[in-house]
Amino acid sequence: MRVSLKWLKDYVTVTIPPADVAERLTMAGCEVKGLETIGGEWENILVGQITAVNPHPNADRLRRTTVNLGKEQQTVVCGAPNVRVGDKIVFARTGAKLMDGHTGQVFRLKAAKIRGVESAGMVCSEKELGLSENHAGIMVLPPDVPVGMPLTDLIGDTIFDLEITPNRPDCLSVIGIAREVAVLIGKAVCLPEVKYEESEPPVSEQMSIEIVAPDLCPRYCASLITGVQVKPSPNWMQERLLACGMRPINNVVDVTNYVMLEYGQPLHSFDYHTIGGRKIIVRRAYEGESIISLDGVERALTPDMLVIADEKRAVAIAGVMGGANTEVSDQTTAILLEAANFNPPSIHSTGDVLRLPSEARYRFERGISPELAMYALRRATQLIVELTGGKAAKGLVDVYPGKKAKEPVTLSVDKARRLLGIDFGAERMVRTLKSLGFECEITDSQIKATPPYWRSDIRLEVDVIEEIARIIGYDKIPATLLGEPLPKQTPDPMPGLKREVRSALVAYGFTDVLNFSLTGMDMMNRLMPEPHAIEPAPIRVANPMTAEMEYLRLNLRAGLLAAFAANRKHEDGSIRLFEMGKVYIPRGKGLPDERENVCGVMGGFRLEKSWQESEPLDFFDAKGVAETLFQRLGLEAAFETSSDDSLHANKQAAIIVACEKVGVVGEVHPRVLAAFEINEPVYLLEIDLRTLLPLSMAQREYHPVPRFPAIVRDMALVVDSGVTHARVQSIIKSFPLVEKAEIFDVYAGEQVSVGKKSMAYRLTFRSADQTLTDDDASRVQEQILSKLIAEVGAVLRG
């Protein structure tokens, strides 16, 4: 909402600078987003009248011009071709800041002698004042402007660009803002006096109004003005409309817009003679009905939309836009003027379905008071009579099925104190409310406050409390800290686990990234080496912005692989990325299962690129990250074969903790990599944190530090190449005296026969109760070997 300070001054005397007005409005709830000054710095510039024009003694093209400034006369040298005795002009005294008419540069005017004649100032062109590019001659003002008036007061203005919150439709008007300003600077509001002559016959004899849908139209008022002459509205009105961002059309339409801006009540003008049967019917649209709106578009209407109709047809979409069939034109001679009130949700849904934003709809949607209609109608009728030379028919039509009694809100002084944390006292509260137009009645520490008719937003005690607080000022409320007792918290362990996993991954060189949760089918398809339907089908957004943002992601993989590829364009070293976030698994019914996941991708080298070679990553680096992570969480992870489509068939493993699958690690399938335009191996680690959470909360088991020394023996075996480390290790570890069995070499090649491999283990023997002897260790080692021979056909390597 744009409000001109000059217009505001019609209703309230503003004595403080505009910036201070803006500050107070902002603090009290009407945010001033911008303050525009029209006219700039016009100090020492005022209205003058040319009283004499004499030739310059030394120059043919210059004149000695005498200017009357009211209290004084000044003589200046002027070269403009349009200097004429009697004209009102703009005079700049020395010291004024002007723009050079030729160079456009700003300069400060000094006293000067021009060709030997003293010049006390300047008569200005529009360009010199910064008003336009016109420098052909001096600016000539209308003859009725008072001599001596500062130019700022004449054409200068300040525009407040206000952000009005949806609860304050009353502030979508100059008078509404004037009321706020008046309260905030301690002044009174003075409303325009509305008076006009009425003539017979009365409206009621020329017009009838019927509200068929009172649930959607609480009030409909109308007036009739005949003998009008439609033409452009006067300059002052056009200027005000333009300053507020509205385009002038003609004197009738401009008045409806002007009064809407002034009072906040939308109005609509019909060409009276186009209304069939001289009857207005407010009803729901018929099935299949349509109307061509004022913008020339044919609109299909539905029975839940409210229309204004005559006997035969719809003539306006109520509260949203008028119809072309009854539009006021140059030929119009009689105006039916409507000021009504409509049900906000109905207006909203009609406007929404028709995709028709309008100033009227904007105000009705926010619930303006039905009381406003009559005030605005009378004002608009007066202005139309004044501007069109028309005659107002006697009386007004007012159908008001939705009239409600004024309901006071009961406010407890104590409640206000308890809610705000400060006691402003009953007297100050009442004073504040009265300044806002409330009627107040005090009874035993209770205030019965009846809001003024324009405040449709005040319904509850807290609404009144806010009024008191915002006018006295939120800065008067002290700042205190919450007291005891602290609420008992049942901490959610998930944030803790997330933080732990995040900091571990960052320590292992992974960078935390964020992708949008919305993704496209194309991205999901890229994760599949063989095309097939995605199971489960992802959740779809009904109104997707783009195809890339149509579905909720089922995993974090695609975003990370795309991020890997994008970073590879400028990173030639290692890339390690991870994302932690939700994935959305549909459940068929109800809200989806939102699972907290973490996924990491890595490619490149083990160490950062440097002057020394580093080795490229392989599967065991990714697995190592998983192992290190789980060790840090105090969990023992096992790895089992797995069959994840997006991963390399032989280079992937399921991560198992306490018999539950918590994730997967592996090399990304080459075809998936190709789909993401990645041409290097990338390793992926994915963990479902929700499954992991209960496991991670298990109490850690404490084992005493060993008291007896260990015996360490190495053992090299030759086995079939299909025998896994896990199998061998579990056999060795099945012996109680074996504390550790670490593999330190795996070899297949010339030294062993084809189809075989050699595996070397370092065994640590220890007993919890005694020092073992070499014999003890040898005995167990023998037993281990025979078990290995029996179960995996192992041969001790010589």
Partner 1 sequence: MFVGTEMLKQLEEIKQKAQQEMDAVKDASALESWRVRYLGKKSELTRVLRGLASLPIEERKAVGAFGNELKSHLEEVYQLKEMALKEAQLKASAAREVIDITLPGRRLPVGHLHPITQTINEICEIFTSMGFGVVDGPEVEWDYYNFEALNIPEGHPARDNMSSSWIDHKAEPGGRRMLLRTHNTAVSARMVETLRPPIRVVSPGKVYRYEASDATHTPMFHQIDGLAVDKGITMADLKGTLYEFARRFFGEDRRVRFRCDYFPFVEPGVEMAVECAVCHGGGCRLCGNSGWIEILGAGMTHPHVLQRGGIDPEVYQSYAFGIGIERLPMLRYGIDDIRLFYGCDLRFLRQF
Site for partner 1 in 364-393 (CB under 8 A): 365-366
565: nearest Cα among 406, 485, 679: 679
Binding part of the chain for partner 1, among 218-226, 253-261, 583-591, 666-674 by CB under 8 A, reads 583-591
How far is 605 from 653, CA to CA, in rounded Å?
A: 21
- 27, 356, 524, 795: which one contacts partner 1 (CB under 8 A)? 27
Under rule CB under 8 A, residue 571 binds partner 1: yes
Q: Which of 8, 14, 21, 28 binds partner 1 (CB under 8 A)?
A: 28
Q: Using the minimum distance from each CB to partner 1, give the nearer residue, 539 or 760.
A: 539
Q: Which residues of 366-375 are buried (b: 16+ CB within 10 A; e: fewer)?
A: bbbbbbbbbb
- Residues in region 468-507 near partner 1 by CB under 8 A: 469-470, 474-475, 477-483, 485-487, 489-492, 494-495, 499, 502-503, 505-507
SS3 state at 500: helix
> Could you tell me which residues are beta bridge partners of residue 119?
112
For partner 1, which is the closer residue by CB, 31 or 289? 31
Give the residue ranges of DSSP H helices in 613-669. Answer: 619-632
DSSP 139-188: -EE-TTSPTT-BHHHHH-EEEEEEE--TT-GGGSSHHHHHHHHHHHHT--
Residue 596 CB, nearest approach to partner 1 (Å): 9
- What SS3 state is found at 696? helix
Ranges within 442-461 binding partner 1 (CB under 8 A): 460
Among 249, 324, 422, 712, binds partner 1 (CB under 8 A): 422
572 binds partner 1 (CB under 8 A): no
Closer to partner 1 by Cβ: residue 296 or 590: 590
Task: Please report which residue ranges of 549-704 form alpha helices under DSSP H.
Answer: 557-568, 619-632, 670-675, 689-696
Do the bridges between strand 198-202 and strand 391-394 make them parallel or antiparallel, or are there none, so unpaired?
A: parallel
Residue 580: which of 595, 563, 593, 590 has the closest Cα? 595
Nearer to partner 1, 420 or 655 (CB): 420
Whole-number minimum distance, CB 23 to partner 1, in Å?
A: 9
- Could you say which residues in the range 399-418 bind partner 1, by CB under 8 A? 418
Cβ closest to partner 1, residue 645 vs residue 680: 680
Task: Kindly indicate which of the ranges 24-32, 254-262, 263-271, 759-767 contains the residues binding partner 1, using the contact rule CB under 8 A.
Answer: 24-32
Q: Which of residues 329-348 bind partner 1 (CB under 8 A)?
A: 344-346, 348
Pure H helices in 661-773: 670-675, 689-696, 725-733
Round to whole Å and give the CA distance between 450 and 459: 10
Cα separation, 293 vs 355, in Å, equals: 12
Burial class (CB in 10 A: 0-12, 13-18, 19+), 180: buried
Q: Which is nearer to partner 1, 91 or 424 (CB)?
A: 424
545 binds partner 1 (CB under 8 A): yes
From the CB of 346, what's the least distance to partner 1, in Å? Answer: 8
Residue number with CB closer to partner 1 (495 or 706): 495
Quick one: tokens of 446?
């209770």
Which one of 2, 9, 10, 26 is in contact with partner 1 (CB under 8 A)?
A: 26
| Binding of partner 1 by 559 (CB under 8 A) | yes
Using CB under 8 A as the binding rule, whether residue 31 contacts partner 1 is answered as yes
* Minimal distance, residue 663 CB to partner 1, in Å: 19
Which residue stretch of 181-189, 386-394, 574-582, 628-636 sits at the interface with partner 1 (rule: CB under 8 A)?
Answer: 574-582
Query: Closest separation between CB of residue 524 and partner 1, Å?
Result: 16
Which residue's CB is nearer to partner 1, number 31 or number 87? 31
How far apart CA 108 and CA 189 sit, in angstroms, is 40
Report the b/e string of 77-104 with b at 16+ CB within 10 A. bbebeebeeebbbbbbbeebbbbebeee
CB 513, min distance to partner 1, A: 4
Q: Which stretch binds partner 1 (CB under 8 A): 110-118, 234-242, 534-542, 721-729?
A: 534-542
Binding flag, residue 102, partner 1 (CB under 8 A): no
In this complex, which beta carbon is closest to partner 1, that of residue 465 or of residue 715?
465
Interface positions, 588-627, toward partner 1 (CB under 8 A):
588-592, 594, 607-608, 610-612
Question: Nearer to partner 1 by C-beta: 60 or 492?
Answer: 492
Q: Is 322 in the site for partner 1 (CB under 8 A)?
A: no
Question: Which one, of 183, 358, 338, lies nearest residue 272 by Cα?
Answer: 338
Interface residue with partner 1 among 355, 570, 700, 703 (CB under 8 A) is: 570
Instruction: Check residue 462 for interaction with partner 1 (CB under 8 A).
Output: yes
Site residues (CB under 8 A) for partner 1, limited to 685-744: none
Burial degree of 186 (CB within 10 A; 0-12, 13-18, 19+): exposed
Question: Least distance (Å) from partner 1 to the CB of residue 56?
Answer: 47
CA distance 414 to 367: 31
What is residue 593's three-state secondary structure? Answer: strand
Kindly report the CA angle at 523 between 521 and 527, in degrees rounded to 5? 110
Residue 109 or 552 having the CB closest to partner 1: 552
- What's the min distance (Å) between Cβ of 681 and partner 1? 16
- Site for partner 1 (CB under 8 A): how many residues? 101
Indicate the residue among 537 and 743 with the shorter CB distance to partner 1. Answer: 537
Tell which one of 38, 147, 513, 528 touches partner 1 (CB under 8 A). Answer: 513
* Angle, CA 234 vertex, CA 233 and CA 239 arms, to 5°: 100
Find out whether 208 and 278 touch, Cβ atoms under 8 Å.
yes
By CB under 8 A, name the one of 582, 595, 757, 797 that touches partner 1. Answer: 582
Distance of closest approach, residue 784 Cβ to partner 1, in angstroms: 37
Residue by residue, what is the 3-state secondary structure of 232-297? CCCHHHHHHHHHCCCCCCCHHHHHHHHHHHHHCCCCEEEEHHHCHHHEEEEEECCCCCEEEECCCC
Which region, judged by CB under 8 A, interacts with partner 1, from 30-38, 97-105, 130-138, 190-198?
A: 30-38
Least distance from partner 1 to the Cβ atom of residue 194, Å: 30
Binding mask 143-182 vs partner 1 (x if CB under 8 A, - otherwise)? Answer: ----------------------xxxx--------------
- For residue 444, give every residue at least 6 positions away whose Cβ sits within 8 Å of its Cβ, in sequence order, or none: none
**Least distance CB 611 / partner 1 (angstroms):** 6
Cβ closest to partner 1, residue 379 vs residue 553? 553
Pick out residues in 183-242 that bind partner 1 (CB under 8 A): none
> How far is residue 76 from each of residues 51, 113, 147, 296, 422, measured CA to CA in Å?
12, 10, 17, 56, 64
CA distance from start to end of the chain: 93
Rounded least distance, CB 411 to partner 1, Å: 13
State which of positions 283-312 bind partner 1 (CB under 8 A). none
Out of 584, 676, 683, 765, name the contact with partner 1 by CB under 8 A. Answer: 584
d(CA 301, CA 285): 6
Separation CA 633–CA 500 (nearest Å): 8
For 299-342, the DSSP string reads: EE--TTSEEEE-SSSEEEETTTEEBGGG---TT--EEEEEEEE-
Contacts of 192 (CB under 8 A, 6+ apart): 10, 11, 262, 379
Closest CB 571 distance from partner 1, rounded Å? 6
Which amino acid would we find at residue 642? S
Identify whether the C-beta of residue 784 lies closer than 8 Å to the C-beta of residue 777. no
Closest approach of Cβ 574 to partner 1, in Å?
5
Q: Among residues 20, 33, 425, 734, which is the contact residue for partner 1, using CB under 8 A?
A: 33
Closest approach, Cβ 414 to partner 1, in A, equals 12
